[in-house]
Amino acid sequence: MTGRPAGPDDLTLTLSNARAERVKKVAALAGRSARSRAGQFLVEGPQGVREAVLHAPARVRDLYLTADARDRYGDIVTSALASEVWVHLATDEVVTAMSADAQGILAVVDTAGASFDDVIAAQPRLVAVLSNVRDPGNAGTVIRVADAAGADAVVLAGDSVDLTNPKVVRSTAGSLFHLPVVRAPLAEATLALAGAGLTILAADGSGTVELGQDGADNAALARATAWVFGNEAWGLSDDDLSFVDTVVRIPIYGKAESLNLATAASVCLYASAAAHRS
């Protein structure tokens, strides 16, 4: 392609060979090693692609879609072309070969984004920190929850899942492009966040402070806060808890044994968000 079309209707079919080298390279981004080598990752489906184009167009390298997707999502194509993103019309077979989860449209996006230093420099008031969160669906959902709660950033610490894992990206439903999501060791992250004036709270069943309990302890929610959430299976270790100011437990009023990670994160982040706005 040597020129950019003026609008969706001007797109012509450019990719019809599902075995072409370009198609193989895009499909390979499903693997972590290929993503690492290329410095790029896949965004699959209209919601994620739309948010990437609207909120991070400079990072979008190429957009691929079928004729049906062009007709359905003309707003995405128009925004992409206006931002000078390369848009490629492809057959259904080509897009499916690139990704079985594309729903007719996908984008290749540069991995590089904000850094942890950028997060600190922005003087955040609400941050979610995930320590050793391994499940991509959980990590992506917490990123989406953090975005909805108005958090300023999400930090992936320890052996947390790769942010560019396709399931993580899909689970964020585009929130990945609304707020910084960065990596940092837990000790470094909590020290820097505390130095920036944030109270470090951990959500854990071992907590002596109950969320929602009246008293001075919950006044911390009204201050700038970083919430630390642990692994889905074993929670937060004693070492992890040594980095926080207060360990908070969520009360269980019914018979459920516990809350899952994403639900616990929702309760805690929204409690802080409400306190910040009261």
Domain boundaries, the chain: 8-110, 116-277
| Interacting residues of 76 by C-beta distance below 8 A, sequence separation 6+ | 46, 49, 50, 53, 63, 65, 105
Of 14, 28, 9, residue with least CA distance to 63? 14
Q: Are 119 and 153 in contact (CB under 8 A)?
A: yes
pLDDT digits (tens, 9 = 90+) for 221-264: 889 999 999 988 888 999 999 999 999 999 999 999 888 999 99
Question: Cβ neighbours of residue 187 under 8 Å, at least 6 residues apart?
Answer: 243
Tokens 């707003």 found at: 75
The CA distance from 153 to 127, in Å, is 5
Residue type for position 219: A
Average confidence score pLDDT of the chain: 93
CATH topology of domain 116-277: Alpha/beta knot (3.40.1280)
Identify the CATH homologous superfamily for domain 8-110: Ribosomal protein L30/S12 (3.30.1330.30)
Residues of the chain with pLDDT under 50: 1, 216
User: Token digits for 91?
Assistant: 């057959």
Per the structure block, which two tokens stand in for 258? 């516990």
DSSP bridge pairs for 147: none
What confidence score (pLDDT) does residue 218 get?
61
Q: Of 201, 207, 199, give the one whose Cα is nearest residue 250.
A: 207
Residue for token pair 């980095």: 243
Query: Is 4:86 a contact under the CB 8 Å cutoff?
Result: yes
How many C-beta atoms surround the C-beta of residue 182 within 10 A? Answer: 20
Alpha helices in 20-154 (DSSP H): 21-28, 32-38, 46-55, 67-72, 74-82, 92-98, 116-121, 136-148
Q: In the block, which residue shows the tokens 């805690």?
A: 268
